């Protein structure tokens, strides 16, 4: 499972002009590595992440996921089977318990219940949440705990491409370190491609490769 960007551009029409948010980006992401994309607001990094997640299509060039262009994927299936996104605001279902949130992608795949329950418990333990949390609702969790649940859900989903959009933006320094450590382990131990968009230098310095975006394109700075 891999992801390649081939001369990717994305333009949108503003009120008075057409803006090129992403401008001719090419890159080959490797399994087993953790990447950080940094840059000022408006540099194009979040737009690029959305394109890699299949939330929109490039206006020029193409993004290849597992050998197939995002233009040719059923993009709902792509986000179910190939690419998982972790958001700054966690995106947990407020009326589902921790265990139900973690099991949600497994229900979409029609995983047998007994298997789904066992896997949910396994990944919940991996993100270091105790069994007493299984029946809690997200509103009863701290920000760091909610992000751990979101990551556990991603682990249960089993995708090999992980896109994280400011995953530590709402967290303190201790929780930030813990979350980054889990994301790094997903790359180094599970062989995933982990791509983190971040404003936080402390997060970026933990990545294997740092890509700095400016005016819709990027350079490797580490």
Residues with Cβ < 8 Å from 170, sequence gap 6 or more?
Answer: 88, 89, 143, 147
Residue 139 confidence (pLDDT): 95
Which CA distances in Å does 154 have to 47, 158, 161?
21, 7, 10
Rounded alpha-carbon distances, angstroms, from residue 73 to 62, 69, 79: 12, 7, 10
In 14-79, the DSSP E strands lie at 18-29, 34-38, 60-65, 68-69
Q: What is the pLDDT of residue 109?
A: 85
Residue 53 near residue 3 (C-beta atoms within 8 A): no
Q: What's the first-to-final CA gap in the chain, in angstroms?
A: 24
pLDDT value, residue 222: 60
pTM of structure: 0.91
| Per-residue pLDDT in tens (0 to 9) along the chain, 222 residues | 789 999 999 998 777 788 888 999 999 999 999 999 998 888 889 899 999 999 999 999 999 999 999 999 999 889 888 999 998 888 999 999 999 999 999 988 888 999 999 999 999 998 989 999 999 999 999 999 999 999 999 999 999 999 999 998 888 888 889 999 999 999 999 999 999 999 898 999 999 999 999 888 887 776
Confidence (pLDDT) at 163:
95
């Amino acid at each position: 499972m891999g992801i390649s960007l081939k001369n990717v551009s994305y333009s949108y029409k503003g009120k008075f002009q057409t803006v090129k948010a992403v401008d001719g980006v090419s890159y080959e992401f490797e399994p087993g590595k953790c990447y950080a994309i940094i840059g000022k607001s408006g540099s194009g990094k979040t737009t690029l992440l959305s394109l890699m997640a299949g939330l929109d299509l490039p206006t020029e060039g193409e993004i290849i996921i597992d050998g197939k262009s995002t233009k040719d994927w059923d993009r709902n299936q792509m986000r179910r089977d190939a690419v998982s996104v972790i958001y700054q605001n966690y995106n947990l279902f407020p009326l589902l318990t921790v265990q139900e949130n973690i099991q949600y992608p497994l229900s979409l795949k029609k995983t047998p219940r007994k298997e789904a329950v066992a896997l949910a418990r396994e990944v919940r333990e991996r993100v270091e949440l105790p069994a007493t949390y299984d029946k809690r609702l997200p509103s009863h969790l701290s920000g760091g705990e909610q992000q751990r649940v979101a990551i556990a859900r991603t682990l249960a989903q089993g995708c090999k491409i992980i896109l994280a959009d400011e995953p530590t933006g709402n967290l303190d320094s201790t929780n930030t370190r813990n979350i980054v450590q889990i994301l790094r382990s997903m790359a180094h131990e599970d062989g995933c491609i982990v791509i983190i968009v971040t404003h936080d230098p402390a997060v970026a310095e933990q990545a294997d490769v740092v890509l700095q975006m400016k005016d819709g394109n990027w350079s490797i700075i580490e």
